């Protein structure tokens, strides 16, 4: 299955292609009619300022009349749906993309989606970005674990239990120090990075 990759200053996004629409544009079209084409052109040029009259017309004709090559149809779909700050669009086979950016996979596999970038080697994972993403998840879990210790710590304060205060205070400090002590620098692939988790934290919740 073909996927359109959009390269933006923020990274990489993919466009899901409607196979029915693509088939119509490459075949005899949808046959919505001339009235629909006129409305579509007016709507697109009015509501989407970046759409020129020429492109709106080409889109309406392609959808209604068909007769396009696959490349022509994908080009129109890419121009229509791409983010406004797209700097390039590339059509690839979905299976050539890393799992974390691929369509049709469970959402949990998109863990590093915001770290995707396009290079001369294709779509890859920007590991510095991926480490920031993963550390954010670790910090979230750390903060939750810290919050869970607040009530028992206050009970120890109220009862004057100094030993318990010291014990819980020590646990809290260990949790606070996780971002400084748990280095992610040695993990060089998305798979090994995603699997890394501090022993001081509870098992991670399902993604």
**Cα-based angle 181, 185, 191 (whole degrees, multiple of 5):** 110
Beta carbons of 50 and 59 less than 8 angstroms apart: no
pLDDT 10s digits, 31-58: 999 999 999 999 888 887 778 999 999 9
CA distance linking residue 127 with residue 133, whole number of Å: 10
* pTM reported for the whole predicted model: 0.83
Which tokens is 126 given?
A: 């920007």
Strand bridging mode 116-119 / 122-125: antiparallel
What's the pLDDT score for residue 103? 82
DSSP letter at 97 equals S
Average confidence (pLDDT) over 65-78: 96
Q: Is the pLDDT of residue 207 over 70?
A: no
Residues 6+ apart with CB under 8 A from 85: 8, 9, 10
pLDDT 10s digits, 109-168: 999 999 999 999 999 999 999 999 999 999 999 999 999 999 999 999 999 999 999 999
């Amino acid at each position: 299955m073909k996927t359109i990759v959009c390269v933006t200053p923020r990274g990489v996004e993919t466009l899901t292609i409607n196979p029915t629409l693509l088939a119509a544009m490459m075949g005899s079209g949808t046959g919505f009619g001339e009235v629909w084409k006129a409305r579509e052109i007016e709507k697109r040029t009015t509501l989407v300022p970046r759409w020129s009259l020429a492109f709106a017309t080409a889109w309406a004709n392609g959808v209604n009349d068909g007769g396009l090559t696959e490349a022509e149809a994908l080009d129109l779909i890419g121009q229509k749906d791409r983010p406004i700050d797209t700097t390039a669009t590339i059509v690839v086979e979905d299976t050539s993309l890393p799992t974390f950016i691929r369509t049709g996979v469970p959402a949990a596999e998109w863990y590093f989606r915001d770290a995707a970038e396009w290079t001369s080697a294709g779509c890859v994972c920007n590991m510095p970005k991926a480490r920031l993403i993963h550390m954010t998840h670790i910090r979230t879990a750390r903060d939750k674990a810290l919050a869970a210790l607040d009530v028992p710590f206050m009970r120890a304060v109220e009862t004057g239990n100094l030993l318990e205060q010291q014990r819980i205070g020590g646990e809290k400090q260990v949790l606070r120090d996780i971002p400084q002590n748990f280095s992610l620098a040695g993990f060089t692939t998305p798979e090994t990075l995603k699997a890394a988790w501090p022993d001081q934290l509870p098992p991670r919740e399902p993604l």
